[in-house]
Structure formats: C-alpha cells, structure tokens
Amino acid sequence: MPQIAHAREHRLWVLTAAQSSYVLHLGADDDLPRGLHWGRALTLDQAVSLLDYPPPRQRSCEDMSDGTLDLSAAGGLRYGHAGLQVRFADGTRDLELDFTGHRVEQRGADDEELVLTFADGYFPLVVESHYRVRADSPAIERHLTVRNSGSDGAEPLHVVRADSATWILPTLADYRLSQTFGQWSAEGQLQRSTLAYGETVLGSRRGVTSHQANPWAMVDAGDATEDHGAVYGAALAWSGSWQLIAQRMPSDRASLSLGAGHDPEARTLAPGEELTTPLSVGMYTEGGFGAASRTWHDYIRAHVIPHPDELRPVLYNSWEATEFDVSVKGQTALADRAAAIGVELFVMDDGWFGARVDDTAGLGDWTPNPDRFPDGLAPLIEHVHGLGMKFGLWVEPEMTNPDSDLYREHPDWIIHRPHRRSTQSRHQYVLNLARPDVADWMHATLDRLLRENAIDFLKWDMNRPLTEVGPLGGREDDTLLSAYVANLYRVIDRLRADHPALRIESCSSGGGRLDLGILARTDQVWASDNTDAVDRVAIQHGYSQLYPAQTMAAWVTDTPNPFTGRDTPLDFRGHVASAGVFGVGVDLAACDEAELARLSTLIERYKAVRPVVQHGVQHRLGAEPGSAELTTAVQYVARDGRETVVLAFQNSRRYGRADPALALRGLEPQALYRDADSGRVHHGAVLLTRGLPLDLPAGEHASTMIHLRRVGLSEEETIISIGVNSRP
C-alpha cells in the first residue's frame, strides 16, 4: 500500500502510516481540506467510498465545515477555532483560500511528504500545508508555511495565529482528553477527563514549555484502558510558549489544534518573507494507552533524539551534597567516592564560576571562580578522568544576575520593556537570546568553555520564565518569543556540530523544558527537581505517557527528602531511579560504609538491566500512582525478548493482605523465564495470566527489582517442537 495515494477526480488523498490512515478531501464549494478519516488503514477505494455518506444536515447561520477543516482558516460562517489567522494591511482578517496544486516529495529512502498549496484570491498570501509520512511509524508530521508572495514595495501582512496542525478526530461515542499538568516539583500529573463542549485550552505563556502543562494530548472514546482501545494523540515540537486547543462542538465533532505561541503573537511578513511553523506530530494507535506510549517511544527513538543507541551513563551530581559550597578539594573527594561506587559521569553543579557563592551573583560570567579554582577546572577534570569517569558541568547560559560583569557591561541585553520595571526572579534576569549579538556571545562563550576544558557533558539549566517581552529590534510585531527559541536551537545545534562528543541534559527548574523540540537537541531531561521517590513514581508515570525511559534522568538522594521531609528506604529510592537514567545526588561524604556498599550494589544491578530499561519496550502495570490500589509497577522487555525487568512499588500495606502477583506483558507464553537473583523458573503463560509473585520486603515504601531471562521452552512446548521438526 503506498504511503500517499491520490484520487484526482475526487480531490482526495490517503496518507497511510503503518496500520493507520489519515484521509484528506477538498470541499467542492470552498477548496479547503477536510479531515475525512483518521484511524485504521484504508485503501484508496475504501477512502473514496466515504464520500457516499450523507453530509451533516444544515443548521441555520452555520458553515457545516466548521470543526472538520484540516486547515482551519478564519472566515465566513465559521466560528470554531481558526488555526490560521492573518491581518492584511487594510484590516481585512477573513481568508478566502483557493487550492492551487499539490506535490509529493521523497524524504529519505522511505518517507514521503504531501504538500497542499493554497493562495488567497485577492491578497498576496500563499499557504503550504505539509504532511510527512514515516514508513516505520504511524506518526504523521505536519507543519505550515505561510508566505507573503507580494513583490517589492507591496504591503506587509501580519500572521496573528498559525497553528502547526489541526487534527480532525472521527465521530466517537464520547471524547475523553488525556493530558499532564503540574507545577514546579510536581510535573507530569496525569489527568483523564471527559472533553467539555467548547474549547479546552492548554498551553504556556512563560516562554518555555512549562511545568504547568506539556504540549501533547491524547483522545479516546472514554473506553480505552492501558491495554485496550483506540487512542488518538498529537504533540508539538516546540520549546517556547505554545497553545493546544481541544475543541468539541455541539455537533459532536472534535479536533486538536497545536501551535507555537499562546496569546495572539502577530508576526509581520514583508514581501518575500515566510513563516514556517514547528512540527506537530499525530498518531493513531490501537491497544490502549500502553500501546500508544510505546509507539511514541519508538518514534522518539527513531526520529527525534540524537544517539538513540547509546547507553546513558550513571551520573553523580554534586548539588544536593554541596549546593554553592564548591571547592577543588570537596569536589575531588566526592569524585573519589563516586568512582568507588561505580559512577560513570561526575557532574559539578552550580557555584564554580564568577563571583558565584550564592544565587545573587555571577550568572553570565562563565569563567572559573579564581578563589575556588585558582588553576582553573583542569585539575579537577583531569582527576575525574583519571578515575575513569567522564566530567560534566552545570551551566545556565540564558540568564544573568544584576551582580555580574556581564550585566554591568550589557544591561540592555536582558528582556525588558522600555519605561517598565524589569522583574527579577531568583535574583536574575533572562538574556534576550532573540538578539543576534546575544546569541553570538552565548555560542562563543560556551564554545570557548568547551574548547579550553575537556568537558563531556553539560547540564543546561533555565530557571525562570520570560517576562516583559516586547518587540524585537525596530519591528512592531511579536517575534521575540519565537526568535528566542529559534536562536536557542541554533546555539545548541552549532555546539553539538563543533563538539560531537558532547552530551547535554535539558533542565528548567526540573521539567520546565520538555518537548520534542528540545529532545531533538539533547540526550536526556531532568524530569523534576523533586527527588522524593514516592512523588517521583507519579511524575515518572506521567513522563512515560509520551517520552521514553532513556531520556528521563532520575536520582537517588538523601533521606529525609529535602522537599517533602519523607523518609524512604535506600532500595526504594534506588529502584525508582532505575526506571530511567540512574543518577546519584546523595551527599557521599556523609555516607557510612554500609550506605556506600548498598549504593554500589544498586548501581551494579542497574547496569545489569540498563540495556533493557533504556532501550526496551515499556509496559505500565498494576495501579496508577495515587489510586486506591497499593501496587504500581513498570516492566521493560528487551527488543529480542530474551530479558525482562520489573520494578514494583508499594507505599503502604494492608493487614492480612498478601502481596499481589503482577500479571506481566510482552512475554512468550510457551517460554520459560529464570529469575536472575533467586534462580526460580517461571512459565511465560503463567506470568501473563496469574502473574509474577513479588515478595516485597516488610514495611512502608517497599519495592523490588526482578530481572528475568528467557531460558527456553516449557517441556510440553519442547516436545511439540521436536515432534514438528522431526517429521519426514
């Protein structure tokens, strides 16, 4: 079946992605594309037959295409959300777009891209709607290109809103919206709720992705479970302000529209200029939310993150041990202990540069503090490398303190509005990265830091949102927010091109910058500043809905936890961190020998299962975190099926209740699996039905890690196999 098929006489296209199809049809009266089908794969003939269905009945003073337009342009009797809004020089806002043609372009060896082109009937406006279909995924990637096609001297036009895509959902029995919400230290809280009639608006006005919401949503008919049901999902690859509108109309048509920018952000296009929106990715899957997540994980590994086949190292981060009390001697002692317990990457956090002894000074002055590092960073880096570890460094290059040499030299470099107070947060300002000179300074500063020091890893932080955002340069539009993100991407891209061995962790006070756009340029994300293991189970559950484990940094830190005051066992903390990219933030200088030995064992056990956790297929098991049920778990199955890892967590116990057996997923029913620790052998069919006995330790906050290896077929299956293979 071709990826993109066209029925010219019917003005219809079928985009086939894996076992799913998205069908587009141009209206006879308005030339605008309608989403005719999104779901199971259809042939071209089957898709054409959809045109035989009767149209919806006309209602007074309404355009019946409202809520069905794949390119939802403002105009006429349409009153739903308009994903494309343009204001022309004479004040006209309605668009009258005519279809002018299409083309199909080959993208790589196996992928195809459909481009539908439209032009306004009067004004010099050209719109291209792009659809890329991947051969190995049900993902469809979309974006818009909006161009002022006028000649020199023509009037500019103002793009008020340009969503990357409007995804038209099929008519369902009901509509349930899945999303994550949160706040600092409580990111990724999963919510599933009936989609209200009208417009449900998610987004960020903060200039970053934000802790409060994440730019994706999933919709089902209200009956999907973790293992059953059809799920429709869409995400936006953008690391700045964004908006997602889930629209449900009284006619029970529904759509998801995603785009950069939250409030109207007019962008002026002079003649010949064009605007290209970020990617929006849509995905239809069957098999419940678990299957949807696994398909997203596969797509992100294959087409988003750099170096997907690498194993992320076990890291140590010095922040919770030392905070700003940084010195060569102290960091060297921590590095010695980190190496002794099996750490592979030592990361020195804040406090190493400029006049930085607390959070009031030094941001922007990215040279080693001469009092703390009189010989620069080289002695510490050489010591770390001599211990067999890589060296990482914390930076926050998008910020400056008023008490810094950078600010004293360039006070005009911060984001601010003339004649208005500049808001400080955390004693710092945001540098105006939208300015080319600031972007050049940032690249040159970081490039010099990397060239002068053998740094393997950057923890790239961004600790406050944008405020007082005004015009960029002499323009009278709102391009600063989009130019900020575009220049951020350019700086990171240039650094990675010039330093190909460099690896980067995205951090923004935790999970404030997590999206497909930043993941295309970084290797992992610090999911939350909250390292409380109980809270982390819920945060990581929400994270896993879209993003794979190999991108999620998770640490073991001290107890009682500094955020919650909760006391949890070391094994519980270690098992929670083992669900992603294992890290240690414990004050190793304060650990006794028993604690160090146990940390070493936890790291050794994690390394044994790391390929399965980071590269395997993930299944969420048991109860959702926070539910009345007591046990929640996550399972990873190796791609070749030979190994599986189960991490199970139980916060409290009930009198007289035995630990439940946990039904596993993704195993071969006829195979045998041996527990790597106990040696006990399990039948695959029994693990899939009755479940895996957990035998959790006594007490609150109990957990376990179980590593199973496939060892062969059961006796009955072996006899059958021999009988089949021995036939004449």
Residues belonging to the chain: 728
Q: Return the HEC string of 258-320.
A: EEECCCCCCEEECCCCEEECCCEEEEEEECHHHHHHHHHHHHHHHHCCCCCCCCCCCEEECHH
Query: Mean pLDDT, to the nearest integer, of 461-488?
Result: 87
More confident residue, 654 or 509: 509
Query: Mean pLDDT, to the nearest integer, of 483-500?
Result: 98
**Residue 215 DSSP symbol:** S
Return the structure tokens found at 641: 């099926």
Give the span between the Cα atoms of 531 and 336, in whole angstroms: 23
Asked if 100 and 197 touch (Cβ cutoff 8 Å), the reply is no
The SS3 of residue 363 is coil
Predicted confidence band of residue 659 (pLDDT cuts 50, 70, 90): confident
> Does pLDDT of 726 surpass 60?
no
Q: Of 627, 672, 619, 667, nearest to 647 (Cα)?
A: 619
Query: Mean pLDDT, to the nearest integer, of 697-723?
Result: 77
Asked if 645 and 612 touch (Cβ cutoff 8 Å), the reply is yes
More confident residue, 206 or 713: 206
Give the span between the Cα atoms of 589 and 320, in whole angstroms: 12
What is the b/e burial string over 583-594, where b = at least 16 CB atoms within 10 angstroms of the residue's CB? bbbbebeebeee
The SS3 of residue 550 is helix
Cα angle 389-390-396, degrees, rounded to a multiple of 5: 135
Predicted confidence band of residue 721 (pLDDT cuts 50, 70, 90): very low
- Rounded alpha-carbon distances, angstroms, from residue 590 to 271, 335, 569, 587, 597: 65, 14, 16, 6, 13
725 Cβ contact partners less than 8 Å away, ≥ 6 residues apart:
none
Give the span between the Cα atoms of 434 and 418, in whole angstroms: 17
Query: 203: left (phi > 0), else alpha (psi -120 to 50), else beta?
Result: left
Q: Of 335, 343, 275, nearest to 483 (Cα)?
A: 275
pLDDT at 475: 62
pLDDT at 630: 78
Alpha helices in 355-404 (DSSP H): 378-386
Asked if 366 and 455 touch (Cβ cutoff 8 Å), the reply is no
Query: Mean pLDDT, to the nearest integer, of 118-142?
Result: 96
In the chain, what is the greatest distance between 2 CA atoms, to the nearest angstrom? Answer: 92
pLDDT at 624: 84
Asked if 230 and 287 touch (Cβ cutoff 8 Å), the reply is no
Give the span between the Cα atoms of 354 and 467, in whole angstroms: 25
pLDDT at 36: 96
Predicted confidence band of residue 571 (pLDDT cuts 50, 70, 90): very high
pLDDT at 724: 40
Q: Of 265, 243, 246, 266, nearest to 255 (Cα)?
A: 246
First to last CA, the chain: 39
More confident residue, 45 or 471: 45
> Does pLDDT of 393 surpass 60?
yes
**Residue 74 DSSP symbol:** -
The torsion angle over the Cα atoms of residues 505, 511, 512 and 515, rounded to 10 degrees, is: 70
Does CATH place domain 620-718 in 2.60.40.1180? yes
Which helix (DSSP H) or strand (DSSP E) does residue 153 occupy? none
Which of 471-475, 537-541, 576-580 is predicted with the least confidence, judged by mean pLDDT?
471-475
User: What is the CB neighbour count within 10 angstroms for residue 724?
Assistant: 8
Q: What is the CATH number assigned to the segment(s) 4-303? A: 2.70.98.60
Query: 24: left (phi > 0), else alpha (psi -120 to 50), else beta?
Result: beta
- Rounded alpha-carbon distances, angstroms, from residue 41 to 2, 47, 135: 11, 9, 13
Asked if 502 and 290 touch (Cβ cutoff 8 Å), the reply is no
Q: Which residues are catalytic?
A: 461, 529
The torsion angle over the Cα atoms of residues 289, 291, 296 and 297, rounded to 10 degrees, is: 110
Give the chain's radius of gyration (CA, Å).
27
* Residue range 583-613, pLDDT digits in tens: 999 999 999 999 999 999 999 999 999 999 9
Residues of the chain with CATH 2.70.98.60: 4-303
pLDDT at 718: 47
The SS3 of residue 334 is helix
Q: Of 302, 261, 262, nearest to 278 (Cα)?
A: 261
Predicted confidence band of residue 716 (pLDDT cuts 50, 70, 90): low
Q: Return the HEC string of 155-167.
A: CCEEEEEECCEEE
Give the span between the Cα atoms of 93 and 91, in whole angstroms: 6
pLDDT at 120: 96
**Residue with tokens 């349409």, as numbered in its chain:** 78
In whole numbers, what is the pLDDT of the chain averaged over residues? 94
- Following DSSP, what letter does each residue of 433-489 receive, concatenated? TTSHHHHHHHHHHHHHHHHHS---EEEE---S---S----TT-SS--HHHHHHHHHH
Does CATH place domain 315-614 in 3.30.2130.30? no
Give the span between the Cα atoms of 362 and 383, in whole angstroms: 26
The SS3 of residue 614 is helix
User: What is the CB neighbour count within 10 angstroms for residue 104?
Assistant: 17
Asked if 495 and 502 touch (Cβ cutoff 8 Å), the reply is yes
Q: Of 76, 79, 64, 129, nearest to 99 (Cα)?
A: 129
Residues of the chain with CATH 3.20.20.70: 315-614
Asked if 5 and 44 touch (Cβ cutoff 8 Å), the reply is yes
What phi, psi does 266 have (nearest 5°)? -65, 130
Residues of the chain with CATH 2.60.40.1180: 620-718
* Residue range 295-354, pLDDT digits in tens: 999 999 999 999 999 999 999 999 999 999 999 999 999 999 999 999 999 999 999 999
Predicted confidence band of residue 476 (pLDDT cuts 50, 70, 90): low
pTM for the structure as a whole: 0.96
Return the structure tokens found at 19: 């076992």
Percentage of the chain with pLDDT > 90?
85
* Residue range 64-99, pLDDT digits in tens: 788 899 999 998 888 889 999 999 999 999 999 999
- Rounded alpha-carbon distances, angstroms, from residue 618 to 248, 638, 668: 32, 9, 16
| 697 preceded by a cis bond (ω within 30 of 0) | no
Residue 129: CA count within 13 A, CB half-sphere: 27
Return the structure tokens found at 247: 């629209």
